[in-house]
Amino acid sequence: MLKEGLVREKLKNAGRILVSYLQKTLFSDFISFCKWLLIALGAGGIIGLAGTGFHMAIGWAEGFREEQTWLFWLLPVGGLFIALLYRWCGMEADPGTDMVLFSVRSEAKISWKTAPLIFVSTVITHLLGGSAGREGAALQLGGSLGQTLGRLLRLDIKDLHIITLCGMSAGFAALFGTPMTAAIFAMEVISVGVMYYAALVPCVLAAVVASEISFALGSQPTVFSLAAEVVPEISPLVAAQVVGLAALCALVSILVCIVFHKVSLLYRKYFPNPCLRAVVGGALVAVLMFLLGTRDYLGAGVPVIQRAIDGEARPEAFLLKLLLTALTLGAGFKGGEIVPSFFIGATFGCTVAFLLGLPPEFAAAIGLVCVFCGVTNSPLASFILSLELFSGQGCLLFLLAVAVSYTLSGYYGLYSKQKILYSKTRPVFIDRQTK
């Protein structure tokens, strides 16, 4: 009887300990979940509205530029104004998207000034025809607003990292209309090889809320259609062709990163004054636009991407877009590199399709995703992007292409503060920044 009583007492004690532990753990997790549910909904709503406003402003700027074809001659004036604006606000040395990425891994803070500055300067760039995208600006806009909101809520440094990722996701989703890509890209791009899974729920919620707000206010998601007949069935030959194209796209992505970085360094070497650099760069871009005699390279170039996916692209288009975007962003104009990378990848894929025996429309789609993967080192986000942009068509071939592009694109990247933690070819911890 005594032994049975002792056993029962021990079981009761063990039960109490287990219940206490579960209550504490589950309660803590539930409280954390509820906290981030509310924060993500709020951040998604606020940044969704800001991102939608940004999207509309860019749309207005591009529409007005199409009507006033002479505006690109004002690029030197616009560049000077952007440089002075950053100087007046004490943000002359602002590293842009790199600062957003670095802040998630450190205690560095993103200034609240980043959001209005990137909003205004990117609209000016697009209004005057600078060859730049928008998504890099959206990451800065969202990251700045997210971290500013976090400081207002008095979040600690770890939580500030998460709300910054929320902001990045919401800004990307509101502007581009791809919430799944936005959520995964924000978590994946910071440190390649390690994702911040603690931010999964907040990033997904913020991206969904922001994209839904954007849709409700009239913004359309970015979607490209591929005719069913241009997507080949999987076979050993088709797989080999896709691998070949992905390998070529990996080389193109390396070229993109090298040219972008080298042009920026050359500008700073020969024109150390930011104002002079902006004027010279603006003049260079304007003169080249005039000599080319086409508006294909003004702004992000989405119509050209669509033509490439329809099977039409000039063979020199990807190189010209690469040069003009490098000259634009290197001079100090604001915007982003992501849509230009889409342009470069799509037109390159369409151009080399005949060499590999692939349909040019499908090759353009593969090129778009592979170059994006190569320059951002984000294979998971790139695959999800292919699902959202092309409605899941040829998904296994896209997955194969993304894997090859990621592996062969080396340790180059658009963002110098991006870290690659694990080797691309061996299970080895390397912890290095991109070139």
pLDDT of residue 31: 81
pLDDT of residue 25: 62
pLDDT of residue 213: 93
Amino acid at site 214: S
For the entire predicted model, the pTM comes to 0.90
Confidence of residue 29 (pLDDT cuts 50, 70, 90): confident
pLDDT of residue 14: 57
Tell whether the model's pLDDT for residue 154 goes beyond 70: yes
pLDDT of residue 225: 80
DSSP secondary structure of 330-359: HTT----SHHHHHHHHHHHHHHHHHHHT--
Amino acid at site 182: A
Name the residue with tokens 């007005």: 64
State pLDDT tens for residues 252-268. Answer: 999 999 999 999 999 99
Task: Tell me what the mean pLDDT of segment 47-54 comes to.
Answer: 92
Confidence of residue 128 (pLDDT cuts 50, 70, 90): very high
pLDDT of residue 27: 67
Percentage, residues of the chain above pLDDT 70: 94
pLDDT of residue 77: 94
CA distance 49 to 71: 29
The answer to whether the beta carbons of residues 168 and 190 sit under 8 Å apart is: no
Amino acid at site 133: G
State pLDDT tens for residues 294-351. Answer: 888 888 888 999 999 998 999 999 999 999 999 999 999 998 888 999 999 999 999 9
Tell whether the model's pLDDT for residue 17 goes beyond 90: no
pLDDT of residue 11: 55
Contacts of 26 (CB under 8 A, 6+ apart): none
Short-list 186, 179, 161, CA closest to 222: 179
Tell whether the model's pLDDT for residue 236 goes beyond 90: yes
The answer to whether the beta carbons of residues 45 and 149 sit under 8 Å apart is: no
pLDDT of residue 13: 60
Average pLDDT over the chain, rounded to an integer: 88
**Angle between helical axes of 75-88 and 274-292 (0-180°, round to 10):** 160
State pLDDT tens for residues 374-426. Answer: 999 999 999 999 999 988 888 999 999 999 999 999 899 998 888 888 888 88
* Pairing assessment for the beta strands 429-433 and 419-422 based on DSSP bridges: antiparallel
CA distance 99 to 85: 19
Confidence of residue 177 (pLDDT cuts 50, 70, 90): confident
Task: Tell me what the mean pLDDT of segment 49-78 comes to.
Answer: 91
pLDDT of residue 2: 46
User: How many C-beta atoms lie closer than 10 Å to residue 209's C-beta?
Assistant: 25
Residue 314 burial (C-beta neighbours within 10 Å; 0-12, 13-18, 19+):
middle
Task: Tell me what the mean pLDDT of segment 221-244 comes to.
Answer: 87
pLDDT of residue 427: 83
- Domains in the chain: ranges and CATH: 25-216 (1.10.3080.10), 228-433 (1.10.3080.10)
Task: Tell me what the mean pLDDT of segment 190-203 comes to.
Answer: 87
pLDDT of residue 301: 86
- Residue 201 Cα distances to 32, 37, 172, 305, angstroms: 11, 8, 16, 33
Percentage, residues of the chain above pLDDT 90: 58
- Lowest pLDDT segment from 18-22, 145-149, 158-162, 365-369: 18-22
Tell whether the model's pLDDT for residue 28 goes beyond 50: yes
